[in-house]
Amino acid sequence: MSFVEYGDTIKDGDTAIVFLGHESMFPVKVQHGTVTQTKYGVIRHSTDLIGKKYGSKVTCSKGGWVFILHPTPELWTMNLPHRTQILYSTDISIITMMLELKPGSIVCESGTGSGSLSHALIRTVAPTGHLYTVEFHQQRAEKAREEFREHGVEHLVTVTNQDVCKNGFGVSNVADAVFLDIPSPWEAIGHAKSALKAEGGRICSFSPCIEQVQRTCLAMEEYGFTEINTLEILLRVYNVRTISLQIPDLGKAAEDNSSTGFDSSNPSHHGSPCANLQQGTVQFKSGVPLREVVGHTGYLTFATKS
């Protein structure tokens, strides 16, 4: 099993996603002889998972069922254990596009955190690219190495435990892109410039506060970066619902009905909007925004090494 190569069959040692619903799923490490408890009952790894195909519908001990999904960076982002605050797919997608990443790209990242963005970067640059990720916290760096090894992508990533603001990324003039998610990104701009290739490399800095963005932009200008711009990505989801609105009384409803040849006794007209005119309402489909939407996550500042 690998996060960058799809496998058909669930094997011992794989990481799989147990899907109970769009709002309910969790990761599980498949191990022979192990069981997993769900609200629908027990899943026995030896008989219910190992050897089955990914995407299979598995019946639990209480009669309910779940789906077992192959892990992807997107599913991992929704289910990973949080060691730090993470980036979600909305920001990750624009980062990947604006950094112009593709298979074979070399990327430097700091900090690694919970590895949400790291998995997406690895999938994008595979099979010939490489990710150099730096994490200041030793335990988080060790946990990231362990996860990359379990997920079959350790050959595509190098994890370093050091302070990027003092020691840099450990590489020079090779990176196609650099990503910074640290409290003081302006202190690492010089190291980012050193890590980037001679010309045309892209850099992105994620910061939740506009004051951080201001200092980072000044540092980018000082080190000669061009095309500096800052984005904020806000996601607004709409639900399609049936809306009923009262028809205004314009005083000519009866004449309009007779002029159009509307026959209320004709059953074929009962399903049409005109049938609701007698009731004073009309129904139609409309997009309605959610009552609660995801707000500000952070500012994304992009620039190019000239």
Q: Is 117 marked as a binding-site residue?
A: yes
Instruction: Indicate the residue type of 298.
Output: G
Q: Is 135 marked as a binding-site residue?
A: yes
Q: Is 176 marked as a binding-site residue?
A: no
Q: Output the CA–CA distances (angstroms, integers) from residue 142 to 52, 147, 172, in the order listed.
A: 32, 9, 24
Q: Is 163 marked as a binding-site residue?
A: yes
Q: Output the CA–CA distances (angstroms, integers) from residue 246 to 34, 126, 243, in the order listed.
A: 59, 57, 10
Q: Output the CA–CA distances (angstroms, integers) from residue 146 to 13, 213, 300, in the order listed.
A: 13, 33, 29
CA distance 3 to 152: 7
CA distance 151 to 13: 10
Name the token pair of 161.
Answer: 């435990």
Q: Is 89 marked as a binding-site residue?
A: no
- 247-260: b (≥16 Cβ within 10 Å) or e: eeeeeeeeeeeeee
Q: Is 87 marked as a binding-site residue?
A: no
Radius of gyration, CA atoms only, the chain: 27
Name the token pair of 187.
Answer: 């202190």
β-pair type (65-69, 202-207): unpaired
CA distance 258 to 264: 10
Q: Is 265 marked as a binding-site residue?
A: no
Annotated binding site: 114-117, 135, 163, 181
Annotated binding site for S-adenosyl-L-methionine: 114-117, 135, 163, 181
